Amino acid sequence: METQRVVKAWEELEIKDDFMFAKVMRDKRICKMLLERLLQTKIRDIVYLDEQKTIDIEKDAKSVRLDVYLEEENRVFDLEMETTNKGNLPKRSRYYQGMIDLNTIEKGENYKKLKESYIIFICTFDPFHQGKAQYTFENLCLEDKELKLNDGAKKVFFNAKDYINAEDEEVREFLKYVNGEKSDNPFVKEIEDKVAQVKKNEEWRLEYVTLLMRDQENQEIGIEIGKELGREEGIRGTVSVLKGMNIPPQTILIKIQEQYNLSPETSKKYL
């Protein structure tokens, strides 16, 4: 059974809520410091390509909405906050990778212009059930695991639930904070202060409330259609209406899963 999504009041938002996470990461210094800690690398500078960027290559293609999308010289980073395990992160990371590559290279350009990319998921759950705080993936040869493809594509999944197993102290304290526990780490304290600062921003508060209202309206429309057409046709009708409103496919999946108690596999068939 799918977990019902909890709608939080503005004052209750935490760093693990994607809206708050995206706003906090607009602080260039904090975002750069977080990337350096998570990836254990120095970053000279970062450029924001978009906050919650939507990549839509073709009109009829499935679009993706990225939480935090930025680049640094020859590298591009996508930071995602995940609080619900729908079992699709490996395939999502693959799709995100392809869409980002298509978005960063023009038709006819040399493949050498493709930037090194990092798809980073910060999860409040263990996506691979191995008890690790971090899972890093690169393409390598199965016949010789010392031989890497060196295509520049990296996918990193962090598991806040098992933060205690993180080797690096800074990463461990950040994941502990994402897990809802207190930390005296200076960097975490800086993030906490930024969260409090974001909550004082009336423009962002209005944006959040507006998104909640729009979300509720779309859900109510789907419910009414479902009542009129019955369950089977109701689900199709709900999907059709939400598509007509340009609601992102991933959001539609979540809505029909919650509303009609569908499995992820079944809900995908309706799209």
| pLDDT tens by residue, 145-158 | 999 999 999 999 99
Query: What is the rounded distance in angstroms from the CA atom of residue 22 to the CA atom of residue 26?
Result: 7
Q: What is the pLDDT of residue 62?
A: 46
The predicted model gives 25-34 an average pLDDT of 94
**pLDDT above 90 as % of the chain:** 53
Contact indicator for 77, 120 with CB cutoff of 8 Å: yes
The predicted model gives 254-259 an average pLDDT of 84
7: helix, coil or strand? Answer: coil
Query: What is the rounded distance in angstroms from the CA atom of residue 93 to the CA atom of residue 116?
Result: 15
Which one is predicted more confidently, 20 or 55? 20
Structure tokens belonging to residue 51? 């906050």
Q: What is the pLDDT of residues 135-148, one digit of tens each?
A: 999 999 999 999 99
pLDDT band at 4 (very low <50, low <70, confident <90, very high): very low
Q: How many CB atoms lie within 10 A of CB 123?
A: 23
Contact indicator for 65, 248 with CB cutoff of 8 Å: yes
Q: What is the pLDDT of residue 59?
A: 44
> What residue ranges do the domains of the chain occupy?
10-200, 204-270
Q: For residue 71, is pLDDT > 60? A: yes
Give the CA distances from residue 118 to residues 44, 69, 134, in Å, rounded to whole numbers and listed in that order. 16, 10, 14
Q: What is the pLDDT of residue 57?
A: 43
Q: What is the pLDDT of residues 185-213, one digit of tens each?
A: 999 999 999 999 999 999 999 898 888 77
Query: What is the rounded distance in angstroms from the CA atom of residue 240 to the CA atom of residue 14?
Result: 33
The predicted model gives 24-29 an average pLDDT of 94
pLDDT band at 176 (very low <50, low <70, confident <90, very high): very high
Query: What is the rounded distance in angstroms from the CA atom of residue 91 to the CA atom of residue 74?
Result: 25
Contact indicator for 76, 117 with CB cutoff of 8 Å: yes
How many H helices and E strands in the chain? 8, 8
pLDDT band at 49 (very low <50, low <70, confident <90, very high): low
Q: What is the b/e burial string over 191-221, where b = at least 16 CB atoms within 10 angstroms of the residue's CB?
A: bbebbeebbeeeebeeebeeeeeeeeebeee
Q: What is the pLDDT of residue 230?
A: 67
> For the whole model, what pTM was predicted?
0.74
| H-assigned helices in the chain | 18-24, 28-39, 89-104, 169-178, 186-199, 202-244, 249-260, 264-270
Q: What is the pLDDT of residue 3?
A: 40
Query: What is the rounded distance in angstroms from the CA atom of residue 166 to the CA atom of residue 176?
Result: 10
Query: What is the rounded distance in angstroms from the CA atom of residue 147 to the CA atom of residue 142?
Result: 9
